[in-house]
Every structure is written in C-alpha cells, then in structure tokens.
Structure 1
Amino acid sequence: MKLVDEIFEMYKGKIRGTQEDFDIIAFTILEQLDYNELIDMVKELPEEELAYFIRLYIVESLKGRMEKYADDTSFYH
C-alpha cells in the first residue's frame, strides 16, 4: 500500500517498532483523515490488498472478541 510505504520511509530509524509506536502512528494519521478520504484510500486498493485489509480486520476483531469473552467467562470460574 502506497500509504504504508510512505509512512515507513518517514519513520524508519526514528521509532523502535513496538506495537505502541504503530498504534500512535495509525491513530495520528486516522485523526487527520475524514470519512471520504478513508473511502477513497480503500477504493484505490488493488484487490489483493483489499482482501488482506478485510482479512486483517476480521482476524483482529475476532481476537478482541475472544479476549473479551475469555475475560468475561473467567469472572465466573
């Protein structure tokens, strides 16, 4: 993805590469974009990258749900 390449070039050598670094960068960028800009970015994705994007969303969402479920169910045990 062109955006990821640009971000990588901008930050390489300046961050440690931790999950926290990635979260901060992602949230900072998303704060600067409106809905239409985000949709335009998605529309520009090649089919393979769009599939990866959706797959990643599904996987991370399921992980979050499973973690929440595990936390909720462990309360009763």
Structure 2
Amino acid sequence: MKFIDELYNMYRDHLTGDEEDLDGIVMGILEGHNRLDLEKFVGELDDESLYEMISIYLRVLLLKKEAEEGIGENDSDHDSGGLLH
C-alpha cells in the first residue's frame, strides 16, 4: 500500500519495534484528521487494501476481547493436560 510505504519512510527513524511507540505515532497521525478525512481515505482504498484493513481491525478487536475474557491465559491450577476440541 503506497500510503503505508510513505508513512513508513516518513517515520522510519522514529520506529523502535515497540508497539507503544507505534501506537503514539498512529494516534498522532489520526489526531490531525476528522471523520470526513478518514472516510475520504477509506473511500479511496482499493478493494484489497480495504479488505486487509478491515480484517486487521476485526482481528485486533477479537484479540482484545479474548484478553478481556481471559481466553488463552495459561491457568496451571485448572489445566487437565488434555486437548480441547
């Protein structure tokens, strides 16, 4: 995606591999835009990029929900050693 390539090149020297740093950069980018700007950006995406963006968004929300519900946490007190089906 050309937009991501441009962002990456712009912020390359600020990226450390730390998700918190990346979150700060993303929030800083979004801060300067309103809903109409974002809708325009999304409207200009090709089908593949839109699909990728939405699939990543859904994946992140599902991971967040899993974390909130404690799904995937290793609880050795209740671990029977069996596989779940």
TM-score bracket, normalised by the shorter chain, equals 0.7 to 0.9
Which TM-score applies when normalising by structure 1? 0.83
Aligned length: 73
CA distance in 2, matches of 1:14, 1:27: 14
| Bigger Rg, structure 1 or 2 | 2
CA offset digits 1:36-77 (Å, max 9, x no partner): 000000001010010001100110000001100118xx8xx9
CA distance in 1, matches of 2:14, 2:28: 16
Overall identity of the aligned pairs, in %:
33
| Aligned pairs for 1:59-70 within 5 A | 59-70=59-70
Greater RCO, CA 8 A, separation 6+: 1
Structure 1 stretches lacking a partner, 5+ long: none
| Aligned pairs for 1:11-50 within 5 A | 11-50=11-50
CA distance in 2, matches of 1:46, 1:69: 35
User: Which one has a larger percent helix, Structure 1 or Structure 2?
Assistant: 1
Which TM-score applies when normalising by structure 2? 0.76
Offset of residue 7 of structure 1: 1.3
- RMSD over equivalenced CA pairs, Å: 1.9
1:56 aligns with 2:51: no
State the secondary structure of the residue aligned to 1:13: helix
